Chain A
Amino acid sequence: MPWVSILILVPLAAAVVVALMRDRRIARVVALAGSTLALAVSVVVVASFDRGVAVMQQVDHLDWIPSAGVSWDVGVDGISIWLVLLTTAIFTLGTVAACQRLPEQRGSVFLGLILLAEAGLLGLFTAGDLILFYVCWEFMLIPFALLIWNWGEGGQKTAGLVFVVYTMAGSLLMLVAIISTGIIAMDHTGGLSFLIRDLQGVAFGEATSTILLAGFLIAFAIKIPLWPLHGWLPRAYSQAPLVVTILLAAVMSKAGVYGLLRIGLPVFPEGVGNVVIPIAILALTGIVYGSLLAWRATTMRLLVGYSSMAHLGFIVLGIIVLDRMAAQGAVLQMVNHGLVAAAAFVIVLILGRGAGTEDMDRLSGLAKGAPRMAVAFLIVTMAALALPGSNAFVGEFFILGGVFNQYAWMAVIATLGIIYAAVYMLRMYQSTMNGPVHGVRDDGRAVEMTARDAIVLIPLILMMMWIAVWPGSLVGATRASTDMALAPAQLADGRPVEQIGILPARAALPATDHPEQP
Chain B
Amino acid sequence: MNAGAALALYVMGAVTVLVLVLAVTPLGARGRRVPEVLALLGLAATVAIAVAQWGERQTAFSGELRVDRFGLLLAILIVIAAGATILLSWGEPAAAGRRPEFTGLVLAAATGMMLTVMSGDLVTLFIGIELLSVSLYVLCAIEVARGQSLESGLKYLITGAIGTALLIYGFALLYGVTGTTSLEGISARLGAVGSPAPEPLFIAAIVLVVVALGFKASTVPFHMWTPDVYQGAPTPVTTFMATGTKTAVMGAFLLVFTGATHQASGDWRVVIGAVAAITMVVGNIGALLQDNIKRMLGWSSIAQAGYLLIGVAVGTLAGTESVIYYLFAYVAMTLAAFAIVILREREVENGDHVEALAGYGRARPWAGVVMTLAMLCLAGFPPLAGFVGKFLLFGSAVDADMTWLAIVGAVASVVSVVYYLRVVIVMWAPPPGGRHEVRRLGVPRAVAGVAIAAGVAVIALAIWAQPVLDVCADAARALMIP
Query: Is residue B95 contacting chain A, with contact meaning CB distance below 8 A?
Result: no
Pick the contact of A179: B381, B395, B413, B430 (CB < 8 A).
B395
Query: B334 → chain A, closest Cβ, in Å?
Result: 20
> Are A149 and B428 touching (Cβ within 8 A)?
yes
Q: A65-B465, A150-B429, A165-B417 known; A142 and B473 CB under 8 Å?
A: no
Q: Which residues of B contact A135 (CB under 8 A)?
A: 382-383, 387
**CA of A67 to CA of B321 in the docked complex: distance in angstroms?**
11
Tell me the chain A residues, 36-92 only, with Cβ under 8 Å from chain B: 63-68, 70
B414 touches A183 (CB 8 A): no
Given A175-B394, A179-B391, A165:B414 Cβ within 8 A: yes
CB pair B410–A172 under 8 Å, yes or no, is yes
A63 and B465 CA atoms in complex are apart in Å by 11
- Whether A157 touches B413, Cβ cut-off 8 Å, given contacts A68-B395, A68-B469, A131-B391, is no
Q: Mark B380-400, 1 if CB is under 8 A from A, else 0.
A: 111100011001101100110
How far apart are the CA atoms of A493 and B463 in the complex, in Å? 41
1/0 per position for A160-187, CB-CB distance to B under 8 A? 1100110011001101100110110000
Q: Is the pair A165, B418 in contact by a Cβ cutoff of 8 Å?
A: yes
Known: A131-B391, A161-B421. A179 touches B466 (CB 8 A): no
For chain A, residues 143 to 157, give those with C-beta under 8 angstroms from any C-beta of chain B.
Answer: 145-146, 149-150, 157
User: Which listed residue, B382, B387, B470, touches A67 by the CB 8 Å rule?
Assistant: B470
For the complex, count residues of A whose C-beta is within 8 A of B.
35
Is B21 part of the binding interface, using a Cβ–Cβ cutoff of 8 Å? Answer: no
Q: Are A67 and B473 in contact (CB under 8 A)?
A: yes
**B417 to chain A: which residues have CB within 8 Å?**
164-165, 168
- Chain B contact residues: helix, strand, loop or mixed: helix
Evaluate contact between B381 and A142: CB separation under 8 angstroms: yes
Q: Which of A134, A150, A168, A176 contacts B398 (CB 8 A)?
A: A176
Near B by CB (< 8 A), chain A positions 245-286 give none
B473/A139 in contact, CB under 8 A: no
Give the residues in chain A near B382, CB-CB below 8 Å.
Answer: 134-135, 138-139
**CB–CB A68/B391 < 8 A:** yes
Q: How far is the CB of B316 from chain A (nearest CB, A)?
A: 12
- Chain A residues within an 8 Å CB radius of B391: 68, 70, 131, 175, 179
Are A176 and B429 in contact, with the CB atoms below 8 A?
A: no
0/1 per residue, B280-299, Cβ < 8 Å to A?
Answer: 00000000000000000000
Given contacts A134-B382, A175-B391, contact A105 B430 (CB under 8 A): yes
Chain A residue contacts of B466, Cβ below 8 A: 63-67
Nearest-Cβ distance from residue A389 to partner chain B, whole angstroms: 44
The residue from B403, B414, B425 contacting A180, defined by CB atoms under 8 A apart: B403
**Total contacts A to B, CB within 8 angstroms?**
87
Determine the distance from Cα of A164 to Cα of B425 in the docked complex, in whole angstroms.
Answer: 12
Say yes or no: A183-B399 contact (C-beta < 8 A), given A67-B469, A160-B425. yes
Assembly CA distance A135 to B391 (angstroms): 11
Minimum CB–CB distance from B43 to chain A (whole Å) comes to 30
Q: What CA separation (Å) do A63 and B382 show in the bound complex?
A: 17
- Please, how many angstroms separate the alpha-carbon atoms of A348 and B71 in the complex? 63
Once bound together, how far apart are the Cα atoms of A168 and B465, in whole Å? Answer: 23
- A65-B407 CB under 8 A given contacts A172-B413, A179-B398: no
- Interface residue ranges of B344-367 to A (CB < 8 Å): 362
User: How far is it, in angstroms, between the C-alpha of A160 and the C-alpha of B428 when the chains are bound?
Assistant: 13
Does A235 interact with chain B (Cβ within 8 Å)?
A: no
Per-position contact with A for B447-478: 1 when CB-CB < 8 Å, else 0? 00000000000000000011001100100000
Residue A197 at the chain B interface, CB threshold 8 Å: no
Minimum CB–CB distance for B405 against chain A, Å = 10
Which chain A residues border B465 with CB–CB below 8 Å? Answer: 64-65, 68
How many angstroms from the CA of A145 to the CA of B372 in the assembled complex? 13
CB-CB < 8 A to A138: which residues of B? Answer: 381-382, 387
Say yes or no: A149-B429 contact (C-beta < 8 A), given A134-B382, A169-B414: yes
Quick one: closest B residue to A184, CB to CB?
B398
| Minimum C-beta distance from B436 to chain A (A) | 12
- Partner of A172 from the list B395, B398, B403, B414 (CB cut-off 8 Å) is B414
Chain B residues with Cβ below 8 Å from A145 are 421
Judge whether B414 and A176 touch: CB under 8 Å. no
Distance to closest chain B CB from A124 (angstroms): 12
B108 contacts the other chain (Cβ, under 8 Å)?
A: no
A106 adjacent to chain B (CB < 8 Å): yes
Q: What string of 1s and 0s marks CB contacts (under 8 Å) between B402-426 and chain A?
A: 0100110011011001100110110
CA distance A234 to B394 in the complex (A): 33
> Is B233 interfacial (CB-CB < 8 Å)?
no
**Is B376 part of the contact surface with A, judged by Cβ < 8 Å?**
yes
Complex Cα–Cα for A139 and B462 (A): 14
Quote the shortest CB–CB distance from B245 to chain A (angstroms).
28
A106 / chain B contacts, CB cutoff of 8 Å: 362
Q: List the A side residues contacting B429 at CB < 8 Å.
A: 149-150, 157
Select from chain B the residue with minimum beta-carbon distance to A169: B414
Which residues from chain B contact A70 at a C-beta distance below 8 Å?
391
- Minimal beta-carbon separation of A418 from chain B (angstroms): 37
A183→B395 contact, CB < 8 A: yes
Inter-chain CA distance A157–B424, complex, in Å, is 12
Residues of B within 8 A of A63 (CB): 466
Residues of B near A65 (CB, < 8 A) are: 388, 465-466, 469
CA distance A48 to B469 in the complex (A): 38
B410, A176: Cβ atoms closer than 8 Å: yes
Complex CA distance for A160 and B425, rounded to whole angstroms: 9
Known A66-B466, A135-B382, A138-B382; judge A179-B421 contact (CB<8 A). no
Docked-complex contact B470 and A179, CB < 8 angstroms: no
With a CB–CB cut-off of 8 A, which chain B residues contact A150? 428-429
| Chain B 301-341 interface 0/1 with A at a Cβ cutoff of 8 Å (1 = within) | 00000000000000000000000000000000000000000
Q: In whole Å, how far is B213's beta carbon from the nearest beta carbon of chain A?
A: 27
- Mark contacts of A324-368 with chain B using CB atoms, 8 A cut-off: 1 yes-contact digit, 0 otherwise: 000000000000000000000000000000000000000000000
CA A66 to CA B392, docked complex, whole Å: 12
**Nearest CB in chain A: distance from B446 CB, A:** 25
Partner pick for A157 among B383, B387, B425, CB 8 A cutoff: B425
Q: Which residues of A contact B410 (CB under 8 A)?
A: 172-173, 175-176
A residues in contact with B403, CB < 8 Å: 176, 180
Cβ-closest chain A residue relative to B407: A176
- Whole-angstrom distance between the alpha carbons of A182 and B406 in the complex? 14
Contact indicator B421/A176 (Cβ below 8 Å): no
Question: Taking A68-B392, A149-B425, A150-B428 as contacts, is the C-beta distance between A168 and B406 under 8 angstroms?
Answer: no
Closest to B369 in A: A19
Kindly report which residue of chain B lies nearest to residue A186, judged by CB atoms: B399
**Which residue on A lies nearest to B424, using beta carbons?**
A146
Cα(A65)–Cα(B465), bound, Å: 6
Which B residues between 181 and 217 are near A, CB-CB below 8 angstroms?
A: none
Bound CA–CA A105/B434 (angstroms) = 12
Q: A135-B383, A161-B425 are in contact. Are A179 and B473 (CB under 8 A)?
A: no
Q: Which residues of A contact B381 (CB under 8 A)?
A: 138-139, 141-142
Complex contact B418–A179 (CB within 8 A): no
Q: Report the minimum CB–CB distance from B435 to chain A (whole Å).
A: 14
The contact of B411 among A141, A164, A172, A183, by CB within 8 Å, is A172
Whole-angstrom distance between the Cβ of A22 and the nearest chain B Cβ: 10
Given contact pairs A150-B428, A165-B417, enumerate 17 new A-B contacts (beta carbons under 8 Å): A63-B466, A65-B466, A66-B466, A67-B473, A68-B469, A138-B387, A139-B382, A146-B428, A149-B428, A160-B425, A172-B414, A173-B411, A175-B394, A176-B394, A176-B406, A179-B395, A183-B395
A-B contact pairs, 20 of them (CB 8 A): A64-B465, A66-B466, A70-B391, A135-B382, A138-B381, A139-B381, A150-B429, A157-B429, A160-B425, A161-B422, A165-B414, A172-B380, A172-B410, A172-B411, A175-B391, A176-B406, A179-B395, A180-B398, A182-B395, A183-B395
A positions within 8 Å CB-CB of B: 63-68, 70, 105-106, 131, 134-135, 138-139, 141-142, 145-146, 149-150, 157, 160-161, 164-165, 168-169, 172-173, 175-176, 179-180, 182-183
Which 6 pairs from chain A and chain B are nearest by CB?
A: A135-B382, A172-B410, A65-B465, A179-B395, A169-B414, A176-B406
